[in-house]
């Protein structure tokens, strides 16, 4: 039986989506109606989770957990720690609640609802278990006393909350098996005007080196994508800790390299090189320069038959993740910074 943990958006007096005091002003919100801060903003509780799935002889299954203090069945998720990256937080919570390390797939729409009267926003991904087969080896505790693989159709009826059912339905209507192509703008390398040597040799600065050490945990959430980099030092150094910690080989690609004074590259050559990576059908991370990022995103979206986003560029240390289905269809796009 599905019950509503928090109400869905409805219209009524002095609530979101309604006419206030008989005027023509409409108050809207992504969250359900509330009696506090009407027309204002309440910083939502942030959480992350995943629809963890596998295919077996009896069809597709997803993981559900039971929380004894509430007596409910739900999808694995939990609150993010202060300053925690949402990807890392979602991976941590899923592992803590199921004993399985998730490999993140496509991004699913977030869920927004009220928790004890306060807005809550949960970021969701589809994910597969890193361990082949996804065998469960979980010790019940006071927070989660049961973890089960459940056929998808049965899971809809077993879930307690309607918003969890909606997450499951969002997963079901899109492709399950996808691969990510991650487009990273190199990390901070300081002001090039103060660098007197060849710009190709300009290294990361202190902020960039710290971010390079943080990057492996974020990229590892997507499995072990192969690494392709501009030949510039600031690009290869951005990926170096990831390639060492995750034992991933890295190759350089001249087509993704911008030389001194912003020269030495051809947009069409770079787009062709990126198209080849998309066509390989394997997870990959590409580190390049700000000049090329919009052109490479244009290539990806155009090739996948998707509309073009108005903002295709990136600030230093941020990245796009383009999720592609096995039959070459765009399954999702998300953007993150190394630190969020």
**Residue 29 confidence class, pLDDT cut points 50, 70, 90:** low
- What are the pLDDT digits (tens) for 113-149? 999 889 999 999 999 999 999 999 999 999 999 999 9
Specify if 184 maps to a domain.
yes
Beta partners for residue 319, in sequence order: 184, 336
Tokens of 301: 């979206």
Q: pLDDT digit string (tens) for 35-90? A: 777 778 899 999 999 999 999 998 999 999 999 999 999 999 999 999 999 999 99
6 in a structural domain: no
CB distance 87 to 104 below 8 Å? yes
Same structural domain for residues 151 and 209?
Answer: no
For residue 151, the Cα-to-chain-centroid distance in whole angstroms is: 25
- 18 in a domain, yes or no? no
Verify that 87 and 187 share a domain, yes or no.
no
Mean pLDDT (whole number) for 3-26: 41
Do 187 and 326 lie in one domain? The reply is yes
Q: What is the CATH number of the domain that holds 218?
A: 3.40.50.1240
Domains: count for the chain: 2
Residues 75 and 191 in one domain: no
Q: Based on the fold, state whether residues 323 and 196 are members of the same structural domain.
A: yes
Write down the pLDDT at residue 27. Answer: 57
Which of the listed residues 173, 197, 225 is the one where a domain comes to its end? 173
CB atoms < 10 A from the CB of 1, how many?
6
Token pair of 23 as six digits? 């005027």
Give the separation between CA 324 and CA 181, rounded to whole angstroms.
8
pLDDT given for residue 30 in this prediction:
75
Q: How many CB atoms lie within 10 A of CB 217?
A: 17
Whether 225 and 313 share a structural domain = yes
Domain limit, last residue, from 173, 188, 217: 173
185 lies in the same domain as 326: yes
Give burial (CB, 10 Å; 0-12/13-18/19+) of 240: buried
Tokens 């995943």 belong to 50
Whether pLDDT at 150 is above 60? yes
Asked if residue 176 lies in contact with residue 59, where contact means CB atoms within 8 angstroms, the answer is no
CB–CB of 227/211 below 8 Å? no
Are 169 and 184 within one domain? no
Alpha-carbon gap, residue 60 to 291, rounded angstroms: 43
In a domain, 154, yes or no: yes
The parent domain of residue 291 ranges over 178-337
Q: What is the pTM of this model?
A: 0.89
320 vs 58: which has the higher pLDDT: 320
211 and 155 belong to one structural domain: no
For residues 64 and 134, state if they share a domain.
yes
Check whether residue 206 and residue 222 sit in a common domain. Answer: yes
């Amino acid at each position: 039986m599905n019950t509503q943990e928090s109400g869905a958006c409805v219209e009524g007096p002095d609530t979101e989506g309604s006419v206030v005091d008989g005027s023509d002003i409409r108050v809207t919100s992504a969250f359900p109606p509330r009696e506090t801060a009407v027309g204002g903003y309440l910083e939502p509780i942030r959480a992350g989770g995943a629809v963890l799935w596998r295919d077996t002889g009896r069809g597709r299954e997803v993981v559900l957990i039971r929380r004894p203090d509430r007596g409910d069945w739900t999808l694995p998720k939990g609150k993010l720690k202060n300053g925690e990256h949402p990807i890392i937080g979602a991976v941590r919570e899923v592992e803590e609640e199921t004993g399985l390390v998730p490999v993140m797939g496509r991004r699913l729409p977030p869920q927004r609802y009220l928790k004890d009267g306060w807005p809550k926003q949960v970021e969701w991904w589809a994910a597969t278990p890193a361990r082949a087969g996804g065998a469960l080896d979980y010790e019940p505790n006071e927070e989660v006393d049961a973890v089960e693989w459940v056929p998808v159709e049965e899971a809809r009826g077993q879930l307690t909350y309607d918003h969890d059912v909606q997450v499951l339905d969002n997963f079901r209507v899109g492709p399950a098996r996808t691969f990510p192509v991650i487009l990273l703008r190199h990390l901070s390398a300081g002001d090039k005007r103060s660098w007197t040597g060849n710009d190709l040799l300009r290294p990361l600065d202190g902020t960039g080196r710290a971010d390079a050490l943080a990057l492996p945990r974020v990229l590892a959430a997507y499995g072990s994508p192969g690494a392709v980099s501009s030949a510039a030092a600031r690009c290869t150094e951005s990926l170096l800790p990831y390639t060492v910690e995750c034992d991933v080989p890295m190759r350089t690609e001249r087509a993704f390299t911008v030389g001194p004074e912003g020269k030495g590259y051809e947009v069409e050559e770079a787009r062709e090189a990126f198209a080849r990576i998309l066509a390989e059908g394997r997870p990959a991370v590409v580190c390049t320069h700000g000049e090329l990022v919009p052109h490479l995103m244009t290539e990806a979206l155009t090739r996948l038959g998707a509309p073009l986003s108005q903002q295709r560029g990136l600030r230093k240390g941020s990245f796009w993740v383009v999720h592609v289905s096995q039959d070459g269809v765009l399954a999702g796009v998300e953007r993150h910074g190394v630190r969020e």
